[in-house]
């Protein structure tokens, strides 16, 4: 994982101003002023950190790593990337956590590859295979028509293996206990999609969508629309 260095903006300028104020003082008073200056400066970074998340790490893992490396406690992630997903993860640090909700409300862009003919318990390749179906001969028009059905506003059913909570408990924890609970469909929006490569049973795609969007469920639903399932 590549973690850019974080800098507490304004510290250097503050240091320069206060240092100049110490010049005309006696050696003792200057030493005391420097001591107060150093102890009063806040080394904790504030702002937003852009992280290129590696595969295999949870979003929580990334936050824990950054807290440890930077020696800070106040840090959070904007949205959740699945462990198998890679790419941009926004972290808010220090006072930057005040804009976390604002950042989480922004639209998202994803790119991925779906595999037709196999349905899994988690709607991705890490889950248990629950169904195998033959992939029919699908032409490009049929595939694009299936994608088109999931453009604009539509409802998604949050998967059981997700961070969404039920009664205060994340769904994935209930799923680990073998429980399946009722979930409310969520209204989502796809602004734009692209079908970038068709090499059945694989399809490369891109999607720009609203917050709260589950790419795994998007792939699952397209697979059902095509009559053979997908993950």
Please report the pLDDT score of residue 11 as a whole number: 39
Residue 70 confidence (pLDDT) above 70: yes
Q: Which of 24, 79, 54, 39 is closest to 211 using CA atoms?
A: 79
Tell me the Ramachandran region of residue 187: left when phi exceeds 0, alpha when psi lies from -120 to 50, beta otherwise: beta
Q: Where are the alpha helices (DSSP H) in 55-178?
A: 59-70, 100-104, 140-148, 171-176
Maximum average pLDDT range among 35-49, 170-184, 208-222: 208-222
Please report the pLDDT score of residue 180 as a whole number: 73
Strand partners, 89: 51
Residue 6 confidence (pLDDT) above 90: no
pLDDT-wise least confident of 18-22, 73-77, 114-118, 197-201:
18-22
Residues 6+ apart with CB under 8 A from 227: 133, 136
Which residue's structure tokens are 């602004």? 191
Confidence band for 184, pLDDT divided at 50, 70 and 90: confident
Residue 181 confidence (pLDDT) above 80: no
Report percent pLDDT > 90 for the chain.
Answer: 57
Please report the pLDDT score of residue 178 as a whole number: 72
Residue 10 confidence (pLDDT) above 60: no
Q: Which of 57, 115, 51, 119 is closest to 85 using CA atoms?
A: 57
Q: Which of 191, 192, 183, 179 is closest to 217 using CA atoms?
A: 183
Confidence band for 9, pLDDT divided at 50, 70 and 90: very low
Residue 200 confidence (pLDDT) above 60: yes
What pTM value is reported for the model?
0.76
pLDDT tens for 202-227 read 999 999 999 989 999 999 999 999 99
Instruction: Tell me the mean pLDDT in the region 40-47.
Output: 69
Residue 145 confidence (pLDDT) above 60: yes
Greater model confidence, 92 or 9: 92
Residue 15 confidence (pLDDT) above 50: no
Classify burial at 51, counting beta carbons within 10 Å of its beta carbon; exposed 0-12, middle 13-18, buried 19 or more. Answer: buried
State the DSSP string of 157-224: ---SSSS-EETTEEHHHHHHTT-------EEEEEEEEEEEEEETTEEEEEEEE-TT--HHHHHHHHHH
Q: Which domains does the chain have, with CATH numbers?
A: 47-104 (no CATH), 108-225 (3.30.2350.10)
Residue 34 confidence (pLDDT) above 90: no
Instruction: Tell me the mean pLDDT in the region 108-123.
Output: 95
Residues with catalytic function: 82
């Amino acid at each position: 994982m590549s973690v850019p260095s974080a800098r507490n903006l304004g510290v250097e300028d503050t240091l320069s101003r206060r240092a100049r104020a110490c010049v005309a003082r006696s050696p003792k008073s200057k030493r005391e002023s420097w001591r107060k200056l150093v102890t009063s400066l806040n080394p904790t970074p504030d702002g937003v950190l852009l992280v290129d998340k590696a595969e295999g790490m949870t979003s929580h893992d990334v936050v824990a790593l950054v807290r440890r490396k930077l020696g800070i406690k106040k840090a959070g992630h904007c949205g959740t990337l699945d462990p198998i997903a890679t790419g941009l993860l926004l972290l808010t640090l220090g006072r930057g956590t005040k804009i976390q909700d604002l950042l989480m409300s922004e639209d998202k862009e994803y790119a991925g590859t779906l595999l037709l003919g196999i349905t899994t318990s988690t709607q991705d390749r890490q889950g248990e295979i629950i169904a195998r179906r033959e992939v029919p001969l699908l032409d490009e028009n049929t595939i694009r028509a299936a994608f088109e059905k999931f453009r604009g506003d539509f409802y998604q059913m949050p998967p059981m293996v997700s961070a969404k909570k039920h009664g205060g408990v994340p769904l994935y924890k209930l799923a680990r206990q073998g429980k399946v609970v009722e979930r409310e469909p969520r209204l989502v929006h796809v602004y734009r999609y692209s079908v970038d490569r068709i090499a059945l049973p694989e399809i490369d795609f891109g999607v720009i969508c609203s917050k709260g969007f589950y790419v795994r469920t998007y792939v699952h639903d397209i697979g059902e629309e095509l009559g053979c399932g997908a993950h």
